[in-house]
Structure 1
Amino acid sequence: MKLHQSNIAGLNIFTAYGEGYVAVNHQKYEKNLIVLPESMTEDWTTAKVDSLTEADMARLLTLGTEIVLLGTGGRLRFPAGPLLRPFAPAGIGLEVMDLQAACRTYNILAAEGRKVAAALLFD
């Protein structure tokens, strides 16, 4: 699905997504990544939802964001509860959703100037 024609004020935005991929500023990605409005991390983790580690999630706490959107692939799946607990005390909202919803939500929040990150896991 195509989302936007071009990026907003030089920000990283999702311009498309489909089965097994997302496009950020028209560049296609097929592996786990973290997208922030001004930067991207392509080597975040190779884990799937059920194999995420504390170290994977701890990296998300260091991004300097107010909210992290965790996209869990083609369907909504929640990581183990203990992995989610550190976010609230750190003052960081964590929303778990399927990958497509994470892309759409990220674009809205990034366009509003929010400090948001999309951490995407591919199936």
Structure 2
Amino acid sequence: MKFQPERFGSAITGYGPGWIAMGAERVAHSLVLDSEGERADWACQHFDDLTAAHFAPLADRRPELVIFGSGNTLRFPKPAWTRPLVEAGIGLESMDTAAACRTYNILAAEGRRVVAALLVEADAPQPDALK
């Protein structure tokens, strides 16, 4: 999906337990989002599902920084998972997914080359509407 060039790629407009919104669209699964407007599903539903294979493709996007939203609580990825990022000289910040959404919006709006890898935990309660 392309966005207007005067705006940064994909702004996160809302979030809550089990969902992230971009505009009027609510996404209820994990995703990778970058400041260039690229978005992809991230095939993981729980922190314990993560492996190095989830983080390796993030380095291919060549961002300055990867923001890892670890779900409802702050958790840190294992060093073996993030080795491709370290070897490519790409920074990594871990925070809960709500904080990662806020941080992504700020950095992307500043024009930074940032990728958000956001874990949306599948077992989180689903609200009826955007808040």
1:34-73 paired onto structure 2 within 5 Å: 34-37=32-35, 38-42=37-41, 44-73=42-71
Highest RCO, 1 vs 2 (Cα 8 Å, sep ≥ 6): 2
> For the aligned residues, what is the CA RMSD?
1.5
Aligned twin of 1:25: 23
Deviation at 1:25, TM superposition (A): 2.4
What's the % identity of the aligned pairs?
43
- Residue 10 (structure 1) shift: 5.3
After superposition, where does 1:1-123 map in structure 2 within 5 Å? Answer: 9=7, 11-37=9-35, 38-42=37-41, 44-123=42-121
Structure 1 runs, 4 residues or longer, greater than 6 Å off = none
CA distance in 2, matches of 1:40, 1:16: 16
Query: 5+ unaligned residues in a row in structure 1: which ranges?
Result: 1-7
2:85 maps to a residue whose letter is: F
Q: Give the CA deviation at 1:16.
A: 0.5
Q: Any idea what the Cα deviations from partners look like across 1:36-74, whole Å, max 9, x if unmatched?
A: 1211002x2225222211211101111121111010111
State the TM-score, normalizing by the size of structure 2: 0.80
3-state SS of paired residue (1:79): coil
Q: Is the 8 A contact 2:53 2:81 kept in 1?
A: no
Structure 2 distance, partners of 1:79, 1:49, is 9
